[in-house]
Amino acid sequence: MRLTGNTLVHLKTALISAIKDLCPPAGEKRFFHEVSILGAAVGPVSLALACLVDSRDDPWFVVSDEPDFREDVGGVRLAFRH
């Protein structure tokens, strides 16, 4: 599921942050595992964050409850390329 930038993420380190603040620089991807979202109501989940060089104003924030999300992002990987 794609999330909005103001979604709160609860990291393992107990840090709470808006997902947009965790976004990587343009052209890079970042993954977080075993985090919670929506006030810790949903989790543990994995996040895939990406900011495309040609779409800096439209970063991708995707959440999944699949344990091997980073290794098998499938369609998400395709979306990050387009």
Range of the domain at 22: 8-81
How would residue 82 be classed by pLDDT, with cut points 50, 70 and 90?
A: very low
Considering the domain boundaries, does residue 33 fall inside one? yes
Considering the domain boundaries, does residue 2 fall inside one? no
Considering the domain boundaries, does residue 3 fall inside one? no
Q: What is the pTM of this model?
A: 0.74
Residue 19 and residue 4: Cα distance in Å, rounded? 8
Residue 53 and residue 71: Cα distance in Å, rounded? 22
User: Each residue of 62-71: pLDDT tens digit?
Assistant: 998 876 655 4
Considering the domain boundaries, does residue 22 fall inside one? yes
Cα within 13 Å of Cα(69), Cβ side: 20
Phi, psi of 62 (to 5 degrees): -120, 135
Considering the domain boundaries, does residue 46 fall inside one? yes
How many structural domains is the chain composed of?
A: 1
Beta-bridge mates of residue 10:
16, 36
Q: What is the pLDDT of residue 42?
A: 87
Considering the domain boundaries, does residue 23 fall inside one? yes
Residue 25 and residue 14: Cα distance in Å, rounded? 23
80 or 25, which is more confident: 25
User: Each residue of 18-46: pLDDT tens digit?
Assistant: 999 999 999 888 999 889 998 777 889 98
Considering the domain boundaries, does residue 48 fall inside one? yes
